[in-house]
Amino acid sequence: MYQQTIAQLALGLRQGTFTSVELTQAYLTRIKQHSELNSFITVTEEQALQAAKAADLRLAQGNAEPLTGIPLAQKDIFCTLGVKTSCGSKILDNFIAPYNATVVEKFNAAGAVMLGKLNMDEFAMGSSNETSFYGAVKNPWDLNCVPGGSSGGSAAAVAAHLVAGATGTDTGGSIRQPAALCGITGLKPTYGRVSRYGMIAYASSLDQGGPMTRTAEDAAIMLQVMAGFDPKDSTSSDQAVPDYSASLNAPLQGLKIGLPKEFFTADLDSEIAATLAAAIDEYRKMGAEIKEISMPNLNMAIPAYYIIAPAEASANLSRFDGVRFGYRCSNPVDLTDLYTRSRGEAFGNEVKRRILIGTYALSAGYYDAYYLKAQKIRRLISEDFKNALAEVDVIMGPVTPSTAFAIGEKSNDPIQMYLSDIYTIAINLAGVPAMSIPAGLVNNKPVGLQIIGNYFAEAKLLNVAHQFQQVTPWHQHSPKGFE
Ligand code: GLN
């Protein structure tokens, strides 16, 4: 039963083909069998079985919601009451959250079953899941390769059928990039669509949570629960949440698709380019109009992001001081020693690098030259998206410049690692929603197609993704050994 989609499982639960307890047990067994992936930081077995029992009762009473009884897991960046929330860091290795993130509350209210907390890059900083204090996650398509990051545990677990669906967060690509490298569907909603309350902050003006699933249909079901205004998050939007499943089957005749010429250059791997061309052809067959567009400021996205995100991170991470949360060094001699040794001993290298860059960029004398300039570029990039999306309904492009790379290949070369975000980062700077869907395989490794839409056009993206999944098999493929 674990091969099924959330939509199929929901039907099975309603028809009594299996119970939530049976389903939960099946996934828990699979999680144990495939511990080699290192996709979970914490498995909440007892709690999951209790939630499953409650869900079975609710199903029997006939007041179940679509996610009631469905086993899911949370990226370990979402606070979970009474359960360790590490954010992939040694500094929070002993942190038991005293409250639930809004997203977690919403899944609980919907009757979903939480199987545990998923591995991730430390504080969501990374593109390969190698910066986690808990070790690298392995890509089920090739155990020598990275699953992508920072939501690598989520992507690997969904791809290997260890969980029916998972949450991820995306600051510069962390939902879409691992979804692409693991061959699953990932959706980064519009900034402000999903509450950030209780989602440990990396770069607050960019962070956004979203679903990671096998299909667009499942992403619609999960987003339905996650989305909506939250009085506890001042940046959450009060725009009404539409019925995301209602428009999945709308025909795509006349859909205008823009292909930015800046995305399709010689830098893109030729086999990925050919895979994407074939995918775009499928849309042409469905009646879409394809148009080349230009977004001239995209080339400045990486330098702007790698100033803005570290600047915000350096401020957000100042709260981890050895006093209020998590790790504290032993025998501090005074307060300064307590701060510096606690942070020095418990933050990993990438996190330290970001704090240094961010602090430098924000310091008096450099603020105008770096931070302010990056903000101006951010504005230009947003304008590019506004202009393009006035001309076309959706923009399509690659998600990653290559398929999954080897563990260790880029971990000592931060610039190479940052360059792997080249197709995803601009979307966060603009705040628009985007998806990655499986578009094919190159040397038996998944390739993602990115679909970018206008602000709050998640329903359109899901429709465009779902229609592709009606005519292609890529989302149904499972890695060998994980069928
Ligand atoms: N790879 C990017 C970074 O390291 C994006 C990470 C993310 O989206 N959380 O910042």
Residue in the block written with tokens 């390769």: 145
Residues 47 and 133 reside in one and the same domain: yes
CATH of residue 400's domain is 3.90.1300.10
Cα Rg of the chain (Å, integer): 21
Nearest atom (ligand 1) to Cα of 350: 4
Same domain for 318 and 455, yes or no, is: no
449 lies in the same domain as 350? no
Closest listed residue to residue 290, CA positions, set 261, 316, 255, 314: 255
Q: Which atom of ligand 1 is nearest to the CA of 125?
A: 4
| DSSP letters for 187-245 | EEPPTTSB--TTB--SSTTT--EEEEESSHHHHHHHHHHHBS--TT-TTS--SPPP-TT
> Separation of 426 CA from ligand 1 center, angstroms?
12
> Which DSSP helix (H) or strand (E) runs through 33?
helix 20-33
- The yes-or-no answer on residue 150 being catalytic is yes
Helix, strand or coil, per DSSP, at residue 334: coil
| Dist CA 242 CA 261 (whole Å) | 32
Q: Is 288 within a domain? A: no
In this predicted structure, what is the pLDDT of residue 266?
86
CA–CA gap between residue 83 and residue 233 (Å, rounded):
22
The pLDDT value given to residue 124:
98
The atom number, within ligand 1, closest to the CA of 124 reads 9
Q: Give the residue from 346, 468, 435 showing the smallest Cα distance to 168.
A: 435
Same domain, 402 and 360: no
Query: Residue written as tokens 């006939």?
Result: 62
CA 281 – ligand 1 centroid, Å: 31
Tell whether 343 and 231 lie within a shared domain: no
From the CA of 121, how far away is ligand 1's center (Å)? 9
Q: How far is the CA of 173 from the centre of ligand 1 (A)?
A: 6
pLDDT at 267: 82
Q: Looking at the structure, do residues 231 and 313 belong to the same domain, yes or no?
A: no
**Closest ligand 1 atom, residue 309 Cα:** 10
Q: Quote the pLDDT of residue 325.
A: 86
Of 375, 404, 436, which marks where a domain is finished? 375
Mutate which of 121, 127, 349, 405 for ligand 1 pocket (most atoms within 8 A of beta carbon)? 127
- Dihedral pair phi/psi, residue 217, rounded to 5°: -60, -45
Give dist(CA 294, CA 387) in Å, integer. 10
- Of 86, 132, 151, 174, which is the active-site residue? 174
Name the DSSP letter for residue 19: -
Q: Say if CB 218 and CB 71 are below 8 A apart.
A: no
Q: Which of 282, 286, 276 is nearest to 255 (CA)?
A: 286
Q: Which of 375, 399, 417 is the last residue of a domain?
A: 375
**244 lies in the same domain as 106:** yes
Give distance in angstroms: CA of 146 to centre of ligand 1.
15
**Ligand 1 centroid, distance to 207 Cα (angstroms):** 9
Whether omega for the bond prior to residue 436 falls within 30 degrees of 0, making it cis, is no
Task: Name the packing angle between helices 301-316 and 373-391 (round to 10°).
Answer: 120
Asked if 149 contacts 85 with a C-beta cutoff of 8 angstroms, the reply is: no
Q: Judge if 118 and 246 occupy the same domain.
A: yes
Mutate to test the pocket of ligand 1, among 77, 171, 302 (most ligand atoms within 8 A of CB): 171
240 and 343, same domain (yes or no): no
Query: Does residue 271 sit within a domain?
Result: no
Q: What are φ and ψ of residue 165, in 5° steps?
A: -170, 160
Element (H, E) at 169: strand 165-169
Q: What is the pLDDT of residues 197-242, one digit of tens each?
A: 999 999 999 999 999 999 999 999 999 999 999 999 999 999 999 9
Q: Give the dihedral sign, CA 186/189/193/194.
A: positive
Dihedral sign from CA coordinates of 102, 107, 109, 110? positive
Q: Is residue 181 part of a domain?
A: yes
Pocket test for ligand 1, best of 119, 154, 202, 353 (most atoms within 8 A of CB): 202
Q: pTM above the 0.95 mark?
A: yes
Q: Exposure of 383 by Cβ count < 10 A (0-12 exposed, 13-18 middle, 19+ buried)?
A: middle
Q: Does the residue 401 lie in any domain?
A: yes
Ligand 1 pocket: which residues have CB below 6 Å?
A: 124-127, 150, 170-174, 202, 309, 421
Task: Kindly name the residue from 20, 75, 117, 138 that is annotated as catalytic.
Answer: 75
The conformation of residue 186, written as its DSSP 8-state character, comes to E
Asked if residue 55 lies in contact with residue 65, where contact means CB atoms within 8 angstroms, the answer is no
H helices of 261-369, in order, are 270-285, 301-316, 335-346, 349-362
Cβ atoms of 170 and 176 closer than 8 Å? yes
Q: Please name the residue whose Cα sits nearest to atom 5 of ligand 1.
A: 172
Residue tagged active-site, from 89, 127, 132, 150: 150
Domain-embedded: residue 423: yes
CB 304 within 8 A of CB 429: yes
Number of domains observed in the structure of the chain: 2
Active-site residue 205, yes or no?
Answer: no
**CA–CA gap between residue 196 and residue 140 (Å, rounded):** 29
Pair of tokens at residue 16: 């009594």
Residue nearest to atom 10 of ligand 1 (CA): 125
Is 402 part of any domain? yes
Cα separation, 158 vs 57, in Å, equals 26
67 and 131 fall within a common domain: yes
Residue 17 domain-assigned (yes or no): yes
Residue from 87, 121, 306 whose mutation best tests the ligand 1 pocket (most atoms within 8 A of CB): 121
Q: What region does 104 belong to: left with phi over 0, alpha with psi -120 to 50, or beta?
A: alpha
Range of the domain at 469: 6-254+391-476
For residues 96 and 240, state if they share a domain. Answer: yes
Q: Which of 349, 375, 401 lies at the terminal end of a domain, its last residue?
A: 375
CA of 421 to the centre of ligand 1 (A): 8
Please state the atom number of ligand 1 nearest to the C-alpha of residue 420: 1
Q: Answer whether residue 31 is part of any domain.
A: yes
95: left (phi over 0), alpha (psi -120 to 50) or beta: beta
Give 191 Cα–ligand 1 centroid separation in angstroms.
15
Q: What is the pLDDT along the chain (483 residues), one digit of tens a residue?
A: 999 999 999 999 999 999 999 999 999 999 999 999 999 999 999 999 999 999 999 999 999 999 999 999 999 999 999 999 999 999 999 999 999 999 999 999 999 999 999 999 999 999 999 999 999 999 999 999 999 999 999 999 999 999 999 999 999 999 999 999 999 999 999 999 999 999 999 999 999 999 999 999 999 999 999 999 999 999 999 999 999 999 999 999 999 999 999 999 988 999 999 999 999 999 999 999 999 999 999 999 999 999 999 999 999 999 999 998 899 999 999 999 999 999 999 999 999 999 999 999 999 899 999 999 999 999 999 999 999 999 999 999 999 999 999 999 999 999 999 999 999 999 999 999 999 999 999 999 999 999 999 999 999 999 999 999 999 999 999 999 999
Residues 462 and 370 in one domain: no
